[in-house]
Amino acid sequence: MSHADHVRSRQKQIEQVPILGSIGRVLAENIVADRDFPPFPRATRDGYAVRSEDAERVPVELNVAGEVRAGGNLPAGFTRLASGEVLLIMTGAPVPDGADAIVMIEYTERSGQRVRVLRSVASGENVVPRGSEARQGSILVGEATVISHPQIALAASAGKSVIDVYSQPRVAILPTGDEVVPIDAQPAANQIRNSNSFSLAAQVISSGGEPVHLPIAPDERRRLRELIAQGLECDLLLLSGGVSAGEYDLVEDALAAFGAEFLFTGVEIQPGKPLVFGRARQRSNRERWTYFFGLPGNPISTMVTFQLFGRLFVRALAGASASAVTARKIRLGKDVKTKIGLTRFLPGKISGVWDDPEVELLTWQGSGDMAAFARADCLLVIPPDRESFKSGDWMTVIPIEG
């Protein structure tokens, strides 16, 4: 079984949630059009419904046979627009049979029951034909779509106030390090508050998972193993710290005790080089594998490696169809000098007006500089084979996601 198949084979439960509870969740059903969209030929302008052939030569005077407004009915006894007739019509109203276009009100002069049409109109102009957006019974939003406001709009339009979504994957978060203390503790001078569990939990939530916090593991084999065993009972295990080459970096060893298969140990990127990824057997059921990421403990390394690798994995476990990291090209605002060797994902800030954006590299103190990272809105991607970039060069950026 390939790794992708493994991810797909997760026993996904289905839950029903109220429409607004579905934001950020993954659709477990198709949302189907319960009627044609639009359900009638819809006027998109205020004006006069005409037979376009009557308004071929302009100006022309035509008879006003009545009016129809959004949500209103055709005039009593009216069935079909006859030659030489028009109907006053409002945006959102059904275009009557016989009419094939709307002349905008701005291009007419009304006088009593007569109207002068000043501009000709093409057949179909300002009319959206019935069913042209979607036919009754067709799929508006497909299963496995991540739901945000456009999908909510369609669900609402199709009358769905309750939506089937996949249950969220449970993602265990295991921080490691003797120096790491809970965030409500007063750290001693040589201690660091556990920010990684929270930056990871925030990202897990925004990628459609449910974070499961484990206690902080000390750099000590027995306790670390005990907590890994707990973490492997979830759908995914994220560890932070302990994957570098130091004497007290025990995570890989501890995972090996669970029959871990390491799919990679190290990536040619900075920050995040020591990242490990693999799967290990659950203690409660040796037949079941749980995937893990061993994320480097430096706070920016943790966040960047989750953005690049973890996010899509959680999305896939949540049942979403395959997607890729979003990248864009933007011009550099200021020269950049870096080192060659690794692909770098550095804190960048996009500025400029919407049609002429530029990106600049923020000054930062390296992979621990959370303050600089919090000012960034993208990762500026520096290829490994060039050390100097000039203002105006096209650069790849990856927006930092929730």
Q: Which positions lie near ligand AMP, rule CB under 6 A?
A: 175, 177, 179-180, 192, 194-197, 240-242, 244, 296-299
> Which CB sits closer to ligand AMP, 270 or 298?
298
Answer yes or no: are the C-beta atoms of 108 and 45 closer than 8 Å.
no
Token readout for 226 is 């005990």
Token readout for 288 is 């079941």
> Which CB sits closer to ligand AMP, 218 or 399?
218
Residue 298: which of Mg ion, ligand AMP, none does it interact with, CB under 5 to 8 A by kind?
ligand AMP
Instruction: Find the angle CA(353)-CA(359)-CA(362) to the nearest 5 degrees.
Output: 125
Residue 199: which of ligand AMP, Mg ion, none does it interact with, CB under 5 to 8 A by kind?
none
- Please choose, out of 64-72, 113-121, 175-183, 377-385, the segment that lies near Mg ion by the rule CB under 5 A: 175-183
Strand pairing report for 114-117 and 139-141:
unpaired
> Which CB sits closer to Mg ion, 368 or 384?
368
Minimum distance, C-beta of residue 200 to ligand AMP, in the bound complex (Å): 9
Residue 192: which of ligand AMP, Mg ion, none does it interact with, CB under 5 to 8 A by kind?
ligand AMP
Residue 195: which of Mg ion, ligand AMP, none does it interact with, CB under 5 to 8 A by kind?
ligand AMP
> Which CB sits closer to ligand AMP, 134 or 180?
180
Beta-carbon contacts of 318 under 8 Å, excluding residues fewer than 6 positions away, are: 25, 26, 166, 168, 169, 207, 208, 209
Minimum distance, C-beta of residue 254 to Mg ion, in the bound complex (Å): 13
**DSSP-derived 3-state class of residue 215:** coil
> Which CB sits closer to ligand AMP, 52 or 367?
367
Size of the chain in residues: 402
Minimum distance, C-beta of residue 339 to ligand AMP, in the bound complex (Å): 20
Among 169, 177, 271, 278, binds Mg ion (CB under 5 A): 177
> CA 59, CA 65: separation in Å to the nearest integer?
19
Residue 179: which of ligand AMP, Mg ion, none does it interact with, CB under 5 to 8 A by kind?
ligand AMP
DSSP H helices in 207-289: 221-232, 251-256
Q: Which residue is nearest to ligand AMP (CB)?
A: 297
Residue 348: which of ligand AMP, Mg ion, none does it interact with, CB under 5 to 8 A by kind?
none
Is 241 a binder of Mg ion (CB under 5 A)?
Answer: yes
Minimum distance, C-beta of residue 181 to ligand AMP, in the bound complex (Å): 9
Q: Of 184, 179, 173, which is closest to residue 237 (Cα–Cα)?
A: 173
> Which CB sits closer to ligand AMP, 157 or 244?
244
Listing DSSP states for 53-122 in one string gives GGGSSSSEEEEEEEEE-TT--PPTT--SPPTTEEEEE-TTSBPPTT--EEEEGGGEEEETTEEEE-S---
Token readout for 245 is 């080459």
Residues binding Mg ion (CB under 5 A): 177, 241-242, 297
